[in-house]
């Protein structure tokens, strides 16, 4: 999350006044009054010249303490509740097998090496895809012609990708196990979705958060 720094500039004015000294009145000789290092004058019979004061302004840069963004109570509540459900979240589809796990992977049959940001789940064609936790639909978007839905759960986000249809809209509040769309097919004709879990901008392994089968 972004941090903001506010810097305030204040002007500090320092007035320097040099008071005049008394000159001689008893003698008629020259009386010399020093006002400053560059200003001298001569007078007679105790003559006096009023000294002037000079003001100088010094600008001082004043820094304020860094202000941390205040988290909204709803975000704090959802984040805490979501964390409490680690290992207890429902699967996004009722019938599913993990086809590709989170992280680096290799498929020897087709000589493919990659890094999966979530879980690739094999399921039935047009299977119902459900939100794993309450939250708000942050975005509905397309990835290579397939629909995707992102739901925000406080500081956590879930993404349901490779959808054939979508049943929610941006800004909509959803509950746990509410329908968000239906699964599309993979290249082999079987149902398949991508399920991604993030904490803020960091991808984390969804397998550690959903229920064990």
pLDDT digit string, tens, across residues 126-135: 999 999 999 9
Residues whose CB falls within 8 Å of the CB of residue 33, separated by 6 or more in sequence, listed in order: 20, 21, 23, 40, 41, 43, 48, 49, 51
Contact at 8 Å (CB) between 174 and 206? no
Can you list the alpha helix ranges (DSSP code H) found in 72-165? 73-84
Structure tokens at 195: 């399920």
- What is the C-alpha to C-alpha distance for residues 100 and 98, in angstroms, rounded to an integer? 6
Q: What is the pLDDT of residue 136?
A: 97
Q: Using alpha carbons, select from 138, 134, 181 the residue that is nearest to residue 161.
A: 181
Contact at 8 Å (CB) between 134 and 154? no
- What is the C-alpha to C-alpha distance for residues 181 and 165, in angstroms, rounded to an integer? 5
Q: 115: helix, coil or strand?
A: strand
Can you list the alpha helix ranges (DSSP code H) found in 144-212? none
Q: What is the pLDDT of residue 112?
A: 83
Q: What is the pLDDT of residue 66?
A: 62
| pLDDT band (50, 70, 90) for residue 3 | very low
Contact at 8 Å (CB) between 53 and 36? no
Pairing assessment for the beta strands 119-123 and 31-36 based on DSSP bridges: unpaired
Q: How many CB atoms lie within 10 A of CB 134?
A: 17
Q: What is the pLDDT of residue 127?
A: 97
- What is the C-alpha to C-alpha distance for residues 212 and 206, in angstroms, rounded to an integer? 11
Q: Report all structural domains of the chain as residue ranges with CATH numbers, in order of start.
A: 7-63 (no CATH), 73-208 (2.70.70.10)
Q: What is the pLDDT of residue 12?
A: 22
In this predicted model, what pLDDT tens digit does every residue of 115-168 receive, in sequence order?
Answer: 999 999 999 999 999 999 999 999 999 987 889 999 999 999 999 999 999 999
Q: What is the mean pLDDT of the chain?
A: 76
Structure tokens at 108: 């020897």
């Amino acid at each position: 999350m972004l941090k903001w720094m506010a810097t305030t500039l204040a002007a500090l004015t320092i007035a320097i006044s040099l008071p005049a000294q008394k000159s001689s009145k008893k003698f008629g000789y020259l009386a010399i009054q020093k006002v400053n290092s560059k200003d001298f004058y001569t007078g007679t019979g105790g003559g006096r010249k009023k000294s002037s004061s000079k003001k100088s302004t010094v600008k001082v840069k004043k820094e304020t303490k860094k202000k941390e963004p205040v988290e909204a109570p709803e975000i704090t509540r959802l984040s805490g509740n979501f964390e409490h459900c680690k290992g207890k979240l429902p699967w996004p589809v009722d019938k599913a097998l993990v086809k590709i796990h989170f992280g680096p992977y290799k498929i020897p049959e087709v000589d493919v090496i990659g890094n999966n940001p979530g879980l690739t789940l094999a399921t039935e064609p047009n299977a119902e895809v459900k939100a794993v936790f309450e939250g708000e639909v942050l975005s509905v978007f397309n990835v290579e012609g397939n629909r995707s839905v992102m739901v925000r759960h406080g500081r956590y986000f879930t993404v349901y990708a490779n959808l054939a249809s979508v049943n929610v809209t941006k800004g909509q509040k959803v509950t746990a196990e509410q329908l968000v769309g239906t699964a599309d097919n993979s290249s082999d004709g079987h149902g398949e979705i991508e399920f991604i879990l993030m904490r803020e901008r960091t991808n984390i392994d969804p397998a550690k958060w959903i229920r064990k089968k």
